[in-house]
Amino acid sequence: MQTKIYLDEESIPRTWYNIQADLPTPLDPPLHPATGRPVIPDDLAPIFPKELILQEMSQQRDIPVPDEVREILKLWRPAPLYRAHRLEKYLKTPAKIYYKYEGVSPAGSHKPNTAIPQAYYNMKEGIERIATETGAGQWGSALAFATNIFDLECTIYMVRSSYAHKPYRKSMMHVWGAECIPSPSTKTAAGRAVLEKDPETTGSLGIAISEAVEDAAINANTHYALGSVLNHVCLHQTVIGLEAREQLATVDSYPDVVIGSVGGGSNFAGIAFPFAGDILTGKAEGTEIIGVEPAACPTMTKGLYEYDYGDVAGLTPMLKMYTLGHEFVPPSLHSGGLRYHGDSPIVSRLVHDGIITPVSYFQNEVFAAAEVFARTEGIIVAPEAAHAVKGAIDVALECRKTGEEKTILFCNSGHGHFDMTAYDAYHAGEIIDYECPDDLIRESLSHLPKVR
């Protein structure tokens, strides 16, 4: 009975899969926040390296992974694919459950898959420093690891409440040589403006984004980096699904159902796009692709597919995506990585076209699923990843009813070793099942930017 499917290092993908090449019609372009016109590469050049801007807009199907990037990915890739025998037995399901485990990366999540190429392209362009924001600290720690590898400096604006409550993610950033500053800070005009109005503010991801972008825009040697949402980030994550497809092929298998958690959409894009591409190009049919989000931040299940800003202040380009409105502030969730008001434009498009089915779950049922997983498979997953676990368990239980022997594949995007206070809260019965009221969503959606 095989439990882990490993590939050798030669099997790390040599190209990323760009699903833009296989969309029936091109994506709606990002629009400039001031003019409302499509963004051109020059607009982005002050904050991103040229190669990433090209990838963002590229229509080329297979984009080469640079050798220097593949060499670093070898530190943990190919990531193992597990068959969840013990979970299947516990659920008494005829389904076969496989999961791709991204928690084996140095930072403990899928995020280094994009942090490494992003740091690499910046280094190649002669950039000396990268500024970014982080909420719970997963992206900040991944980027700190990556910038250290390529000898870049790194400044991370960490949402002040997390800075206080998640000290160990900050410690990881320090070990890898990055500077981690609680946001809002006095280092930027954006931060000072917020502090002047409200010195006791807990901060927010929107404010931290504004600080990092300002830092990159005014310092010539500094660029900005984003850990999710954008097309090039989703592109880099396709190593997850490309490897998984090859691993399943070694046991003559192909998934009937593919599942991932959706915050900004990057780990889900990573596992799902190669299989969605198989559908779009007629190589597969009937594969069900499910994106799981929290009921407290129901972007795909209750949002609108419209143009919206990426940040609270309305300074970023407008993206056509499922959104709850850029002013939407979800409740403080233990799955901090799933609180974004919008979603990847490509994931959104595939939801809109019916290729992806979105579902939402409450926090307590998600933690209950995570605990079943920990007690059967052993791995204590990140609360974000637990959403995918819950999705897989529900499909497997449905199979028990119908007797179908479906093959389920899900992305286990990271471990939860720095999230134990969330598990403690679950055991203490302190996790609240918050469902976002419809009138709150309607109010927030009434402030979408007007686009001609």
Residues forming contacts to ligand PLP in the complex (CB under 6 A) are 109, 111, 138, 228, 261-268, 337-338, 382, 384-385, 413-414
- Provide the 3-class DSSP secondary structure of residue 5: strand
Q: Give the residue with the Cβ less far from ligand PLP, 102 or 306.
A: 102
Residues 115, 107: Cα–Cα separation, whole Å: 10
Q: How far apart are the first and last CA of the chain?
A: 58
Q: Give the separation between CA 53 and CA 242, rounded to whole angstroms.
A: 23
To ligand PLP, the closest distance from the beta carbon of 30 in angstroms equals 18
Tokens representing 192 are 């000072």
Using CB atoms within 10 A of its CB, is residue 322 exposed (0-12), middle (13-18) or buried (19+)?
Answer: buried
What's the min distance (Å) between Cβ of 425 and ligand PLP? 18
Query: What is the CB neighbour count within 10 angstroms for residue 364?
Result: 13
Q: In 3D, which of 13, 71, 76 has the Cα closest to residue 415?
A: 76
| Three-state secondary structure readout of 308-371 | EECCCCCCCCEEEEEECCCCCCCCCCCCHHHCCCCCCHHHHHHHHCCCEEEEEECHHHHHHHHH
Place of tokens 């070694």: 250
Nearer to ligand PLP, 80 or 264 (CB): 264
In this structure, the dihedral spanned by the alpha carbons of residues 242, 248, 254 and 257, taken in order and rounded to 10 degrees, is -80
Q: What phi-psi label fits residue 37: left (phi over 0), alpha (psi between -120 and 50 degrees) or beta?
A: beta
Which tokens hold the place of 114? 């994009």
Nearer CB in complex with ligand PLP: 123/381: 381
Cβ–Cβ under 8 Å, residues 184 and 191: yes
Distance of CA 242 to the CA centre of its chain: 17
Q: How far is the CB of 89 from ligand PLP (least distance, A)?
A: 26
| Cβ distance to ligand PLP smaller for residue 136 or 431 | 136
Q: How far is the CB of 8 from ligand PLP (least distance, A)?
A: 26
Judged by beta carbon, residue 222 or residue 367, the one nearer ligand PLP is 367
Between 238 and 267, CB nearer to ligand PLP: 267
Token readout for 320 is 């056509």
Residue 162 or 261 having the CB closest to ligand PLP: 261
Minimum distance, C-beta of residue 360 to ligand PLP, in the bound complex (Å): 14
Shortest CB 57 distance to ligand PLP, Å: 20
Minimum CB distance to ligand PLP, residue 130 (Å): 18
Distance CA 356, CA 345 (A): 13
| Cβ closest to ligand PLP, residue 254 vs residue 362 | 362
CB of 285 to ligand PLP, least distance (A): 26
User: CB of 401: closest distance to ligand PLP in angstroms?
Assistant: 29
SS3 63: strand
CA distance 258 to 244: 11
| Closer residue to ligand PLP, CB minimum distance, 123 or 262 | 262
Distance of CA 339 to the CA centre of its chain: 11
Query: Minimum distance between the CB of residue 135 and ligand PLP, rounded to whole angstroms?
Result: 8
Tokens of 139: 């992206």
User: Looking at beta carbons only, is 263 or 277 nearer to ligand PLP?
Assistant: 263
Which residues 6+ apart lie within 8 Å of 247 measured at CB?
5, 7, 78, 81, 100
